[in-house]
Amino acid sequence: MTATITPRLIELTYEATLKSFWRKEALRKFLRACRVSDGHLAKWATEETKRDFLDRTFQSLQRSDAGKAVVHEMAHSLSEQTTFPDLRNWEDSALKIADATKAVAELKAYLRAQDEEVRTAQEREEIKARARADRERIQRSATDKEKLRERFEQLHPAIGTQQGGYDFQAWFYDVLDFCEIQNRRPYVTAGRQIDGSVTIEGTTYLVELKFTASQAAATDIDSLRVKVDDKADNTMGIMVSVSGYSSVAVAQASGRKTALLLLDAMHLYLFLTGTLSLRDVISRIRRHASQTGEAYLPTSNFSG
């Protein structure tokens, strides 16, 4: 039985595609093999993320029977995967492969349910009608930006608690994955706990996350600086303090050749509200630090 192209099938196929391929070239080869046209693939701009390109691709494929046939082919190709070569050899390969395995398993189970279910002609027509009505309401997966914003705001009552800190940490790395920013989740090295790292434009930043009701203090800055100073010369540090920083902390982080960048909740909201990408937020603060020696740039001064 041919799979019916429902909103749920499209959502599951989208999610399995996104999770199965991390590199753009690997994704491009898969889409070409599934008969996505070279003309469409050529429109993939260098700066456009996989997620944004897949959004455009899936919207386009739903507009024609030929496009729906491509979705059908993609769904079955993904459901047959047992290994994920493109997800190997990353620091968090185990996590990436686990996420991809889960997405593929959900897609495979859905396809199996479709194949096993015997529908009457009337039921099939009802499914088609619902698919047409729901087409424009297809949502992204649980890592959709609006859902990330809702999750962040739901964390606020737990600020200052240990569990709140753990949940904020998990949320922050989900944001990095959403933004397709290379990252490593928390780890321990030389007896020191590192809240993780991100790599942007060739620079690796050690991450320090502060989900406290009080502002980050100079002692917090000193702690991160020690961790950064122990690493390679091109290593920098990013602190994210949802409650901001004391003036002493900002002064302590700033100075000639500062290796620290300071972000607060308002910087996160620049991303969550769609004003800037998180990558652009970090780059803007990095540029400011290079030009002035100041590690902190309030969002109110971003246009200056």
> Do 133 and 174 lie in a common domain?
no
208-233 mean pLDDT: 94
> Do 123 and 178 lie in a common domain?
no
**Amino acid 142: pLDDT:** 38
> Do 98 and 168 lie in a common domain?
no
**Amino acid 118: pLDDT:** 44
Domain-located, residue 2: no
Which DSSP string do the residues of the chain spell out, in sequence order? -PPP--HHHHHHHHHHHHHH--SHHHHHHHHHHTT--HHHHTT--TT--HHHHHHHHHHHHTTSHHHHHHHHHHHHHHHT----GGGTTSTTHHHHHHHHHHHHHHHHHHHHHHHH----HHHHHHHHHHHHHHGGG----TT-HHHHHHHHHHHGGGTTSHHHHHHHHHHHHHHHHHTT-EEE--EEETTEEE--EEEETTEEEEEEEE--SSPB-HHHHHHHHHHHHTS-TTEEEEEEETT-B-HHHHHHH-STT--EEEEEHHHHHHHHTTSS-HHHHHHHHHHHHHHHS-SB--GGGTT-
* Listed residues 107, 139, 171: the one ending a domain: 139
Residue 232: pLDDT band (50, 70, 90) is: confident
> Do 102 and 207 lie in a common domain?
no
User: pLDDT digit string (tens) for 242-299?
Assistant: 999 999 999 999 998 899 999 999 999 999 998 899 999 999 999 999 999 999 999 9
> Do 71 and 216 lie in a common domain?
no
> Do 83 and 226 lie in a common domain?
no
> Do 105 and 160 lie in a common domain?
no
User: pLDDT digit string (tens) for 95-126?
Assistant: 999 999 999 999 999 998 887 764 565 666 77
Q: How many domains does the chain have?
A: 2
User: pLDDT digit string (tens) for 136-180?
Assistant: 544 444 347 888 999 999 999 999 999 999 999 999 999 999 999
Please provide the average confidence, as pLDDT, over all residues in the chain. 90
> Do 190 and 229 lie in a common domain?
yes
> Do 179 and 33 lie in a common domain?
no
> Do 211 and 264 lie in a common domain?
yes
Q: What is the CATH number of the domain that holds 212?
A: 3.40.1350.10
pLDDT of 135 > 70? The answer is no
> Do 22 and 132 lie in a common domain?
yes
**Amino acid 26: pLDDT:** 96
Domain-located, residue 1: no
Q: Which of 9-18, 50-59, 189-198, 283-292 has the lowest mean pLDDT?
A: 189-198
Residue 190: pLDDT band (50, 70, 90) is: confident
pLDDT of 51 > 60? The answer is yes
- In which domain, by residue range, is 128 found? 7-139
* Listed residues 124, 139, 154: the one ending a domain: 139
> Do 288 and 225 lie in a common domain?
yes
